Amino acid sequence: MFRSLRPTLFTLASALAFGSASGAQITDPTLTLQPESPRRGQSTIVRVEATGSCTYIYPEQVQGNSITLRSFVTNCPSPPGPWLAYAVIPPLEVGAYELQLVDPDLEPLATTSFRVLDPDFTVEVTGRLPEPDRLELTATGIGSCVFDQPPTVEGTTIRWPLIPAGICDPPPPIEPLTWVGQIGPLEPGPYEIELLLREDVVATTQYEVEPIANCESTDTVLCLSGRFEVTARWTTPNGDSELATAEMARDDSGFFWFFGPDNIELLVKVHDACTSEFENYWFFASGLTNVEVQIHVRDTLAGIDRFYGNPQGRPFVPILDTAAFATCP
């Protein structure tokens, strides 16, 4: 099968000028590849060094696993001297290849061989950004003149395209490259992240976007363990009723007062027992009152509510619910 290669090359010798002087030919050429073993989906830069002038080359064709670079001679007044040119071989399939530089009569001038390897790219989630609903992605690979575009979301798949820019002028070395991308907001759930070079998927990873707790402590709300919203309403025998005033004690516990800040009436705590045999969150409450109390606990991450209470006129009975929220982690 024959496949044409784009003539993406240039010469860094004397500028080519067409004139009436007879043409010259290159001698003793050497071929150097960057990288020496390219990856599938990766372009290869061929460096040609020789003695000569008034010559240029371009990729001619690929026949199976043979690649031919053909030289052409022009008329110009430049004398022979150090001569340097570059050519770009577009991406090839995995396998062994022979590269040959030939003269205008198709006689061999230089030959080298190389192997195309499987892609060597990685993509990973390096962590969330300060905004909890955005992700930061990092990709690495080997190459040059490759640019990334912003990641996009298609259902539960995040696609992140890399676009080879062809040849750069002058071509930079083939070296490790790193790209950083940001994406969001994202709905909670599992995602497949794909890194694409042209149309090929060259690396994948998975990431689970966790739901975001919407919990915040206020004058009447305790936000315990970063996700459990606790409120308490008291009612006196004569019918007076208000939300109790909340005070945080620790991340997982706090207290309420009803009639004055110097008189604590209710202590509450959410205990994380997810790593124990219980595999849930416990809710404990202890009261120093005999008035009616209604307690509302909401897991803002799971959207689950629990209600507890103490009737009017009865000394508060401690609440020890070791099966309150089976919503780990």
Domain count of the chain? 3
Q: Is residue 13 part of a domain?
A: yes
Residue 266 domain-assigned (yes or no): yes
Q: Are residues 236 and 203 in the same domain?
A: no
CA distance 22 to 24: 7
- pLDDT score of 170: 61
The residue ranking higher by pLDDT, 310 or 8, is: 310
Q: Pick from 71, 93, 116: which residue ends a domain?
A: 116
Name the residue among 124, 135, 235, 109 with its Cα closest to residue 187. 135
Question: Do 111 and 10 fall within a single domain?
Answer: yes
- The 10s digit of each residue's pLDDT in 107-144 is 999 999 999 887 778 888 876 544 556 788 999 887 76
The domain containing residue 228 runs over which residues? 222-325
10-14, 176-180, 323-327: the lowest-pLDDT one = 10-14
**Spatial contact of 67 and 99, defined as CB atoms under 8 Å apart:** yes
pTM for the model stands at 0.49
What is the C-alpha to C-alpha distance for residues 192 and 188, in angstroms, rounded to an integer? 13
